[in-house]
Amino acid sequence: MGDAIITLTTDFGNESPYVAAMKGVILGINPSARLVDLSHLIPPQDLRYTAWFLAASIPYFAPEVIHVIVVDPGVGTDRALLYVEANPHRLLVPDNGCWTVLGRALAQPPKVIRLTEGQYWRHPVSATFHGRDILAPAAAHLSLGLTPEELGPATTDWIRLETPTPTFGPDSIVGEVVFVDRFGNLMTNIPGEALSRLPPPLQFKVGNQAVTRRVRTYAEAEPETPVALVSSEGMLEIAVTAGNAARRLQAGIGSRVEARLVPGD
Amino acid sequence: MGDAIITLTTDFGNESPYVAAMKGVILGINPSARLVDLSHLIPPQDLRYTAWFLAASIPYFAPEVIHVIVVDPGVGTDRALLYVEANPHRLLVPDNGCWTVLGRALAQPPKVIRLTEGQYWRHPVSATFHGRDILAPAAAHLSLGLTPEELGPATTDWIRLETPTPTFGPDSIVGEVVFVDRFGNLMTNIPGEALSRLPPPLQFKVGNQAVTRRVRTYAEAEPETPVALVSSEGMLEIAVTAGNAARRLQAGIGSRVEARLVPGD
Amino acid sequence: MGDAIITLTTDFGNESPYVAAMKGVILGINPSARLVDLSHLIPPQDLRYTAWFLAASIPYFAPEVIHVIVVDPGVGTDRALLYVEANPHRLLVPDNGCWTVLGRALAQPPKVIRLTEGQYWRHPVSATFHGRDILAPAAAHLSLGLTPEELGPATTDWIRLETPTPTFGPDSIVGEVVFVDRFGNLMTNIPGEALSRLPPPLQFKVGNQAVTRRVRTYAEAEPETPVALVSSEGMLEIAVTAGNAARRLQAGIGSRVEARLVPGD
């Protein structure tokens, strides 16, 4: 066993001193904590992106890792700050629903605690940076072995984030692009296993553009051909081998994506 | 106690191998050192930004942490390289004044040592990368327990960086924007406590644009309204709730910011 | 001795969850592994840039460090994945040649192993993310002390990457720009020691633009003057003191660079 691991995910960018301040606060309380940056380039205050990012990264970590997420459009309102144990990961997060996607497939409901015990906070608590003043010190104290229940009372009341879900018809599934990666690959919200319940062959569209080729991996397609495949996360992905699908298909986050039975087949 | 912590702050960007080389040098000397990235996106050779960044991040760390700062427009001149203990933080930094803001409110003067002892450097020492060849190895040796005095002679002669300070009049304070964060919030060099010495209400201007609303936290204002508040760093901040103050007020680093008594009140 | 160190170099960018997923996989297998980010901003699928980046960073690390490199245009083809011990560094890398520059000056040939032993992989192995499913877990197992030979069979067959080499004439050397750093400095593929074999003085050209001044360090030149110097990596570098050589000389990666005897001297 190594020292406790704390990951950081924020929308602060890498130019600002905000992430540095959080790191200082955590290491000031637990100098043995090992910090792991996940991303500080979440688009500012974008909860849907955060939800998607967490779903695509947190499950790869062991349950004992502590994850601090600071995407907090409600800072300064009376929104709560939460400790969450979900599926079975441990998060410290503002109560804005960005984490609830992690609890979806859960055998037992998540344990959620409202952070109310000020002795585990940094004082004075600012009105605009609760990541530094509440979430970071709470994470550090947990990493030292504090029982979560010491942080405040359990609650069953929290914000659920509605994220767009695909529409399943008898001969089609309609979803949307939720992420465009650095290679221009389009990640959608359509599960790969849903595709496999429609009888092949399928045809695909991104916006008005047809994607006729379906492959298992990029390498099966000719360069510059748009293809549909199941992503490394198990979701429908649209890619262009040796090219950029987002540019080629003029698509981005929110673009409509359709999978449909080939008529007559 | 964990292993020694060394933080890195540079203007190298994240594309280059320069940061990687420094990490290799440090870990080659002390494989147990724990590296913490603060930022590598300091604007190239921008000492004022560096000063502001350090003031907004270093104070959150425990005194035993070692901070390596490589923003070094004078590399290759005869400018000195320094070990500094200030207020009470420990820095390795070129002698360009970017750190002196940390010593301002100091009870006792900072301890400053000129790095002259070549046995603690990487050889051959290049003419253009002293961060890798002098600062990084010095930090690694300190993290192993080397006494700072072994690095060279003490000095009381170092560069002070002049940073713009606000002008305090009987019924106004005039300062400027020193940082624009990723949300478009404008951070100024006007201390929040200075505002509280003027009798309310106050009115604010950024350039020629009036900011009439003063709040304690973003959430108190209507969306899209420019507001004045005290930042999480204790300074006057101009923000637009659910919007971008920099874009809305067409302001950036250096923009004039004024706080003034409301006439007749 | 500290815990095992694993570095990460990818072309994934910092917005995506791909790096985070790899970190989770590594720490899930070896919670004591210490992760060091080198860069995630390698230009997408750019093997030449990767080769240059590795040559300029890996040599600074101690031999026991494990380096995971994920720049993988061939993912999903039958290209191999490799464990490499070269000169004397330890890498996990797709078989695309990006590492072979590290083996050039080698006293003994590199040890290269093909990763075939699936018990050290993450399952199910995706078709599109072998960095997460094969390289990351292999690195974690190695960091726990696994003998490299357990990962698969040795091979002497691997891809060599051709990188552009300078042309050496009797009175000139012609090379090219291989990297432009954040300050606009132009790094070339012309070794500084090759320059010293031509009798001075030399004149330099970037594209059609003359660079007449040669210096040892930036500080020797007047501001705004283009100068030639030997970089901190020992290569010909073209810089503009207190300015930006890339902008001033309208040069970028691939620009022609020439060093030539001054006629008549």
Mind listing the pLDDT tens digit for each residue in A129-178?
999 999 999 999 999 999 999 999 999 999 999 888 999 999 999 999 99
Is residue A252 predicted with pLDDT exceeding 80? yes
Residue B75, pLDDT > 80, answer: yes
Report the C-alpha gap between C122 and C139 in whole angstroms. Answer: 12
The answer to whether B51 touches B97, Cβ cutoff 8 Å, is yes
* Cα–Cα dist C22/C17, whole Å: 9
pLDDT at C212: 86
Under a CB-based contact definition with an 8 Å cutoff, are residues A155 and A199 in contact? no
What pLDDT, on a 0 to 100 scale, did the predictor assign at position C77? 86
Which of C37, C101, B59 is closest to A24 using CA atoms?
A: B59
Average pLDDT of the residues of chain A: 93
Helical H runs in chain A?
18-29, 47-55, 130, 136-143, 192-195, 245-248
* Residues linked to residue A84 through DSSP beta bridges, in sequence order: A91, A112
C-beta atoms of A182 and C44 within 8 A: yes
pLDDT of res. B246: 97
Q: E strands, chain A, where?
A: 5-10, 34-39, 66-70, 81-86, 89-94, 111-114, 167-168, 172-180, 186-191, 202-206, 209-211, 213-214, 226-230, 235-240, 256-261
Interface test with A, best of B60, B91, B236 (most A CBs within 10 A): B60
Give pLDDT, residue A97: 95
pLDDT at A76 over 90: no
| Closest Cα in chain B to A122 | B60
Query: Interface partners of A (3+ CB pairs, < 8 Å)?
Result: B, C
Q: Which of C90, C117, C96 is nearest to C46 (CA)?
A: C96
Nearest CB to C28: which of A37, A61, A232? A61
* Residues ≥6 apart with Cβ < 8 Å to C197: none
**Chain A interface, best mutation among C10, C11, C14, C47, by max A CB count within 10 A:** C14
Q: Residue A265 pLDDT more than 60?
A: no
**Are A61 and C24 within 8 A, CB to CB?**
yes
Residue B1, pLDDT above cutoff 50: no
DSSP E strand boundaries for A87-163: 89-94, 111-114
Write the CA distances from C243 to A206, B132, B212, C16, C223, integer angstroms.
45, 22, 41, 33, 7
Residue B253 burial by CB count (10 A; 0-12/13-18/19+): exposed, middle or buried? middle
C199 burial type by CB count under 10 A (0-12 exposed, 13-18 middle, 19+ buried): exposed
Contact between B136 and B7 (Cβ < 8 Å): no
Output the average pLDDT for chain C. 93
Poorest-confidence range of A71-80, A186-195, C171-180? A71-80
Average pLDDT of every residue of chain B: 93
In Å, how far is C60's CA from the nearest CA of chain A?
A: 22
- Asked whether the beta carbons of B176 and B254 are under 8 A apart, the reply is yes
Which residues of chain C are within 8 Å of residue A65 when distances are taken between CB atoms?
24, 27
Q: Is the pLDDT of residue A11 over 90?
A: yes
Residues 29-68 of B with CB under 8 A from C: 30-35, 37, 44-45
Q: Which of A20, A128, A133 sits opposite B218 (nearest CB)?
A: A128
CB contact under 8 A, C128 and A37: no
Q: What angle do CA C66, C178, B71 make, to 5 degrees?
A: 70
Predicted confidence at residue C97, as pLDDT, reads: 95
Single pTM value for the model: 0.96
Q: Cβ separation of C129 and A232 shorter than 8 Å?
A: yes
Q: Testing the interface with A: which of B9, B41, B182 to mutate, by most A Cβ within 10 A?
A: B182
Least confident of A18-27, B17-26, B31-40, B196-205: B196-205
Residue B49 has pLDDT above 60, yes or no: yes
Q: Answer yes or no: do A34 and B34 touch at CB < 8 A.
A: yes
Query: Which two three-digit tokens encode residue C253?
Result: 């990666």
Give the ipTM.
0.95
- Higher-pLDDT residue of A211, A102: A211
B79 near A CB under 8 A: no
The phi and psi torsions of A128 (rounded to 5 degrees) equal -130, 0
DSSP state of B160: P
pLDDT at A27: 98
Q: Which residue of B has its CA nearest to A13?
A: B182
| Residues B206 and B186: beta-carbon distance below 8 Å | yes
Pairing state between β A5-10 and B202-206: unpaired
Q: A45: distance to nearest CA of chain B, Å?
A: 8
Q: Does B256 touch chain C (CB under 8 A)?
A: no
Question: Could you give the CA distance from residue A201 to residue A63 in angstroms, rounded to a whole number?
Answer: 40
At A205-232, the pLDDT tens digits run 999 999 989 998 888 888 889 999 999 9
- Shortest CA gap A81–chain B (Å): 15
pLDDT band at C149 (very low <50, low <70, confident <90, very high): very high
Tokens coding C68: 């995971």
| Residue of chain C minimizing CA distance to A244 | C44
Please tell me which of the candidates B65, B220, B232 has its beta carbon nearest to residue A27: B65
The one-character DSSP state at C95 is: S
B172 Cα to chain A: minimum distance (Å): 25
Q: Which residues of C touch B23 (CB under 8 A)?
A: 7, 36, 38, 60-61
- In this prediction, residue C265 carries a pLDDT of 47
Label residue B105 by pLDDT band (50, 70, 90): low
Among residues C83, C91, C90, C72, the alpha carbon closest in space to that of C130 is found at C72
Give the residue with greater pLDDT, C51 vs B2.
C51
Chain B hits for C64, CB-CB cut-off 8 Å, are: 31
Q: Is the CB of C229 less than 8 angstroms away from the CB of B127? A: yes
Given this model, what pLDDT does residue C1 score? 47
- Which pLDDT score is estimated for C2? 62
Asked whether C25 and C73 are in contact (CB, 8 A), the reply is no
pLDDT above 90 as % of chain A: 82
Mean pLDDT, rounded, for A10-32: 97
Counting Cα atoms < 13 Å in the Cβ hemisphere of C103 gives 19
The pair of three-digit structure tokens given for residue C157, joined into one six-digit string: 């067959």
Q: C154-191: per-residue pLDDT in tens?
A: 999 999 998 889 999 999 999 999 999 999 999 999 99
More confident residue, A6 or A222: A6
Sign, CA torsion B172/B174/B178/B183: positive
Contacts of A2 in chain C (CB under 8 A): 3, 30-33
If you compute the radius of gyration of chain A from its CA atoms, what whole number of angstroms results?
Answer: 21
Instruction: Indicate yes or no: CB of B229 within 8 angstroms of CB of A18.
Output: no
Rounded to an integer, the average pLDDT of B137-148 is 98
What are the tens digits of pLDDT across the range B160-189?
998 889 999 989 999 999 999 999 999 999
- Is some CB atom of chain A closer than 8 A to the CB atom of C232? no
Tokens of B66: 């070692």
Q: pLDDT per residue over C188-218, tens digit each? A: 999 999 998 888 889 999 999 999 899 988 8
Mean pLDDT (whole number) for B148-161: 96
Chain B residue with the nearest C-alpha to that of C180: B16
Reported as a single tens digit per residue, the pLDDT across C83-139 is 999 878 999 999 999 999 887 666 678 999 999 999 999 999 999 999 999 999 999
Kindly tell me if the per-residue pLDDT of B197 is higher than 90. Answer: no
Q: Do B27 and C40 touch (CB under 8 A)?
A: no
Q: Does B20 touch chain A (CB under 8 A)?
A: no
User: Which residues numbered 155-214 in C keep a CB inside 8 Å of some CB on B?
Assistant: 179, 181-183
Helix (H, G, I), strand (E, B) or coil at A48: helix
The residues with which A107 forms a beta bridge, in sequence order, are: none
The alpha carbon of residue B142 is apart from the nearest alpha carbon of chain C, in Å, by 16
Question: Smallest Cβ distance to B32: which of C2, C179, C229?
Answer: C2
